[in-house]
């Protein structure tokens, strides 16, 4: 007989199972009864070895039951090594949207840092590998990869960019760290350009850490990011890196001279390793070895001449890198001989839930290249910016209620105006109507923010920047169109781009255009300049009018 109990400060839930198998759905049902509790703890008692079966099905949305429990140390740590989290339990726990306790997350990040810092900047791996590209917080797609390859019997090289853009970045990163702790000789985690403070502050990882854990866990994550190696050589033939090569070095041994325990953009070589790209006209670019990478606003494009010289100098076959989304999950850049000079691997299918691309991994046995493609797995829906449903829906409901109330008051005003002999009789009513109108405008602004809260953009906009999106339009966009319009989000981020949000806590990357416009003006001025423009029968859009210039005030320096 196996017993499952959920101990909480207020309530305890017990489940008696007829056999020695507990399904994850049993845990979900138990915890969901106490969904109002901020945190619960699962305790599992057994008389003999316990078997926990994962009966969830990604194809059935109703199986994704959010849970907020943490598993006690006694049960989540490996029975073989009590200093290491059990990766099987963590995998299923994260699948059901569970999380680690603050102490467990802290311990994991600190121990991972100590393990990573022992490695050199350039890893040397002398066995066949499976190379995985960018994951970007797509936890359920990461699990899809492990369905085809046993972790215990394979060696994995991850090319970086574990976090941001996707909404399960903590799950992806923490699970990979757990795997690294369990299989230090099988899991190799390189650093990507998103493993940095500037990118995670601009995109979603920082907000996700604050939402699911706290600022201390985020700081520990940044520290752990800096400990990851920068590149790897596989069987003396492949050079694995997130971005590419650099004109600042020719011999790969020079990479070990880089001080990697700092922000990416603080070192030239590290910036190039993590940010550079093949030239867009790679096959046609016969003249320039390197050119400024205007798409990234930093680092370089490298051409076929630069790659061939790099491979020849270091006696290598191919550069294998990530960093760029690909429609088929990969792209091969041919060299002057029969072998590919550069292979791009991107492992996040349907990137940002918008690209409709494949994900891919590459298998290399020392002689042969094999690429396996994947389609996306369904995942639980998360509101943009990790906003709760009450916060999300409040302005929609409030705006409609205030409109309804205004209609009644205005009708009352018309009636009283007809019956009244003096205008002073209507003054209190007019003031009340003015207050309701102001409230209605505020709700319209908040509603507009929520409608546009995403990293892509709506149909009316010319560019697909990070400031606004109507999510419903994503399915109608072709891969090439989405990639072109999303190009701003692929650039390095400056300090002045880390704008703040006004009415909601959300990462700057999902801040809508309306937020950007009112970020530097007072709320009273915003309300005066807001205009609600009808769009169709039921829709309406919020616009902020340009402030009228006053000639005399401008001359006197007040404008």
**Four-point Cα dihedral 53, 57, 61, 67, nearest 10:** 20
Catalytic residue among 93, 136, 194, 323: 194
Count Cα neighbours of 531 within 13 Å in the Cβ-side half-sphere. Answer: 8
Q: Using alpha carbons, select from 326, 318, 307 the residue that is nearest to residue 343.
A: 318
Buried b (16+ CB within 10 A) or exposed e, 24-34: bbbbbebbeeb
Catalytic residue flag (residue 379) = no
List Cβ neighbours of 380 (8 Å cut-off, separation of 6 or more): 61, 64, 66, 97
Buried b (16+ CB within 10 A) or exposed e, 155-165: bbbbbbbbbbb
Q: Using alpha carbons, select from 370, 368, 246, 266 the residue that is nearest to residue 313.
A: 246
The two three-digit tokens of residue 542, written as one number? 């919020």
CA 39 to chain centre: 24
Beta-strand runs (E) in 287-440: 290-292, 300-302, 318-321, 330-334, 340-345, 359-364, 369-374
Q: Within a 10 A sphere around the Cβ of 197, how many other Cβ atoms?
A: 18
Rounded to the nearest 10 degrees, what angle do helices 215-225 and 102-116 cross at?
Answer: 10
SS3 5: strand
By the 10 Å C-beta count (0-12 exposed, 13-18 middle, 19+ buried), 415 is classed as exposed
List Cβ neighbours of 27 (8 Å cut-off, separation of 6 or more): 4, 42, 67, 69, 96
DSSP designation for 377: P
Residue 250 and residue 310 in contact, taking contact as beta carbons nearer than 8 Å: yes
The two three-digit tokens of residue 330, written as one number? 């990969």
Tokens 């990011």 locate to: 225
CA distances from 46 to 50, 74, 85, 260, 402 (A): 6, 13, 20, 47, 56
Q: Give the integer Cα–Cα distance in Å for 163 and 212.
A: 14
By the 10 Å C-beta count (0-12 exposed, 13-18 middle, 19+ buried), 248 is classed as middle
DSSP designation for 558: -
Tell me how long the chain is: 559
Residue 273 and residue 265 in contact, taking contact as beta carbons nearer than 8 Å: no
Q: Using alpha carbons, select from 253, 247, 248 the residue that is nearest to residue 231.
A: 253
SS3 302: strand
Give catalytic residue positions.
194
């Amino acid at each position: 007989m196996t017993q499952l109990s959920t101990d909480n400060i207020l309530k305890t839930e017990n489940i008696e199972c007829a056999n020695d198998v507990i399904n994850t759905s049993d845990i979900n049902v138990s915890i969901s009864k106490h969904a109002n509790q901020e945190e619960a703890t699962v305790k599992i008692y057994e008389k003999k070895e316990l078997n926990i079966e994962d009966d969830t099905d990604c194809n059935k949305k109703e199986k994704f039951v959010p849970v907020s429990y943490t598993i006690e140390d006694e049960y989540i740590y490996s029975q073989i090594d009590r200093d290491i989290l059990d990766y099987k339990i963590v995998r299923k726990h994260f699948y059901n949207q569970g999380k680690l306790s603050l102490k467990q997350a802290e311990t994991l990040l600190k121990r991972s840092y100590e393990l990573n810092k022992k490695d050199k900047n350039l890893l040397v791996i002398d066995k066949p590998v499976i190379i995985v590209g960018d994951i970007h917080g797509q936890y359920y797609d990461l699990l899809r990869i492990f369905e085809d390859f046993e972790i215990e019997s394979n060696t994995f090289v991850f090319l970086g960019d574990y976090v941001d853009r996707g909404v399960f970045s903590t799950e992806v990163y923490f699970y990979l760290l757990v795997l690294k702790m369990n299989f230090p000789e099988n899991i190799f985690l390189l650093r990507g350009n998103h493993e940095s403070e500037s990118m995670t502050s601009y995109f979603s990882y920082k907000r996700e850490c604050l939402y699911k854990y706290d600022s201390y866990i985020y700081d520990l994550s940044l520290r752990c990011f800096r400990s990851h190696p920068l590149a790897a050589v596989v069987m003396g033939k492949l050079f694995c890196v997130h971005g590419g090569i650099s004109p600042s070095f020719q011999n790969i041994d020079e990479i070990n001279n880089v001080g990697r325990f700092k922000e990416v953009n603080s070192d030239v070589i590290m910036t190039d390793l993590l940010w550079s790209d093949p030239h867009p006209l790679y096959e046609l670019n016969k003249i320039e070895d390197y050119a400024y990478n205007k798409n990234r606003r930093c680092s370089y494009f490298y051409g076929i001449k630069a790659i061939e010289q790099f491979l020849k100098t270091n006696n290598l076959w191919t550069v294998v890198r990530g960093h760029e989304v690909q429609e088929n999950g990969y792209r091969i850049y041919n060299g002057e001989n029969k072998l590919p000079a550069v292979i791009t691997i991107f492992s996040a299918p349907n990137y940002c839930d918008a690209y409709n691309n494949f994900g891919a991994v590459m298998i290399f046995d020392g002689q042969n290249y094999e690429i396996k493609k994947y389609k996306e797995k369904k995942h639980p829906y998360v509101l943009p910016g990790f906003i709760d449903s009450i916060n999300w829906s409040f302005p929609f409901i409030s705006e409609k209620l205030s409109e309804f109330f205004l209609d009644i008051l205005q009708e009352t005003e018309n009636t009283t105006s007809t019956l009244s002999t003096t205008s002073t009789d209507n003054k209190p009513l007019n003031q009340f109507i003015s207050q309701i109108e102001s409230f209605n405008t505020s709700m319209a602004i908040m509603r507009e923010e929520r409608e546009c809260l995403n990293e892509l953009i709506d149909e009316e906009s010319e560019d697909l920047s990070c400031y606004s999106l109507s999510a419903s339009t994503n399915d109608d966009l072709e891969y090439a169109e989405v990639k072109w319009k999303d190009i701003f989000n692929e650039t390095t981020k400056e300090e002045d781009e880390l704008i703040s949000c006004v009415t909601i806590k959300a990462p700057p990357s999902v801040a809508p255009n309306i937020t950007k416009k009112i970020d530097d003006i007072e709320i009273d001025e915003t309300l005066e300049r807001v205009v609600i423009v009808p769009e169709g029968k039921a829709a309406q859009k919020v616009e902020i009018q340009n402030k009228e210039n006053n000639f005399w005030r401008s001359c006197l320096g007040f404008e």
